[in-house]
Structure 1
Amino acid sequence: MGKVQYQCSMSLDGFIAGPGGDMSWLVPYLGPDPMVDQIMERTGALLAGRRTFGGDDPYKGTEHEGEAYGGGWEGPQFVLTHDPPDAPVPGVTFVTDLETAVAEARAAAGDKNVGVLGAQIAAQCLDAGLLDEIFVGVVPVMLGDGVRLFDHPGGTRVKLERISLSEAPNSTDLLFRVTR
């Protein structure tokens, strides 16, 4: 069975999105990355929060706007939301319960990983003991404000074990195992 894996890019100062969820900061850093290619290859389904699913897209204005990983990945997507849309979205299943969303995404992924997109859904998975790994591409820019990689008011300690470290032209890629 695959892992439940938080997948994101992050500025050096710890933000995965700019103020208001802005993702345009990432555009200059998109490009070839062998580790990201491996992550996509090993991902069988995506699980996103509603804000991430409906949010800003670094591929906005291109032929790959609205496509996961800019069109580099295809497969079933699950969105955790309290307010599913009335009209169906092809390839997307809207789920209202975290445990059900993770279970359905795992079943759809088969022996591959479930890629978790979005800070809030990743934090919920972590709190519920459902998150196995964290992949972060650290990008050489500082944003100063925005959506943090991990935000837990009052603080909490999460112990991680580094699995791998690699460099790409536009990022330093880190993969961690969540230790329990």
Structure 2
Amino acid sequence: MGKVLYSVTMSLDGFIAGPGGDMSWLTEHIGPNPTVDALIGDIGALLVGNRTFRGDDPHRDTDREGKPFGGGWDGPQFVLTHHAPPTSVPDITFVGDLDSGVAAAKAAAGDKYVNVLGASIARQCVEAGVLDEIFVCVAPVLLGDGVRLFDHPGGTNVKLERIGLTHAPLATNIWLRVVR
């Protein structure tokens, strides 16, 4: 089976969303990135947090709104929530717990990545020992406040090994393996 990957764009000061989950900051930092383009082809399923699923979209008010990777990816999505909507959503499966969500996403992804979207879900995956890799696009901006890449009150020490470093016009990409 494939690996579980947390991929995200982050400000230099460690935020993946601005205050209140605002994603508008990201719009000007989305651009050509060959590493991201290659990664998208290796994603077999998404494991998405509820706040991310219901949250702000950097493609708001465009024809790319609501589409994973701005329409660059299509496939099964598993949203972890205790409050599934009353009506079904195409290509979305709502799951109530992390274990069943990871299992379903891995089964759907086959040999490809399960891509985690959302800081809370990524933290839960780290705590459960199921996160294999982290891919971060570091955007050249300081937000000063918002949703952190990884927030663990009281602290923790998650050892990582860098397995890749590439540059794109609008970001520096860092690929890491979680050391177990």
TM-score, with normalisation over the residues of structure 1?
0.99
Q: Provide the residue aligned with 2:89 in structure 1.
A: 89
Whole-Å Cα distance in 1 between the matches of residues 70 and 120 of structure 2? Answer: 22
Structure 2 unpaired stretches of 5+:
none
Question: In the TM superposition, what are the counterparts of 1:1-180 in structure 2 within 5 Å?
Answer: 1-180=1-180
| Deviations, residues 70-111 of structure 1 (Å, cap 9, x unaligned) | 000000000000111110000000000100000000000011
Query: How many Å separate the matches in 2 of 1:94 and 1:178?
Result: 27
Q: CA deviation at 1:34?
A: 0.5
Give, in whole Å, the separation in 2 of the partners of 1:21 and 1:45: 23
Instruction: Name stretches of at least 5 consecutive residues in structure 1 with no aligned partner.
Output: none
Amino acid at match of 2:143: L
Query: How far, CA to CA, are the matches of 1:69 and 1:128 in structure 2?
Result: 26
31-40 vs 11-20, greater mean Cα deviation: 31-40
- In structure 1, the residue corresponding to 2:73 is in which secondary structure? coil
CA distance in 2 between partners of 1:39 and 1:137 (Å): 12
Per-residue deviation, 1:58: 0.3
Equivalent position amino acid for 2:103 in 1: A
Alignment RMSD (CA, Å): 0.5
Aligned mates of 1:121, 1:70 — CA distance in 2: 21
Q: Counterparts of 2:30 and 2:54 in 1: how far apart (Å)?
A: 20
CA drift at 1:39: 1.3
Percent of residue pairs identical: 66
- How far apart, in 1, do the equivalents of 2:135 and 2:87 lie? 32
The count of aligned residue pairs is 180
The runs of at least 4 consecutive aligned structure 1 residues that moved more than 6 Å come to: none
| d(CA) in 2 for partners of 1:125, 1:85 | 24
Deviation of the 1:158 alpha carbon: 0.4
Q: How much does 1:144 deviate?
A: 0.2
The Cα offsets for residues 45-89 of structure 1, whole Å up to 9 and x where unpaired, read as: 000110000100000011110000000000000000011111000
Within 1, Cα distance between the matches of 2:83 and 2:62?
A: 28
CA distance in 1, matches of 2:108, 2:5: 15
Cα distance between partner residues in 1 of 2:155 and 2:97: 25
Classify the secondary structure of the residue corresponding to 2:121: helix
| Separation in 2, partners of 1:97, 1:147 | 22
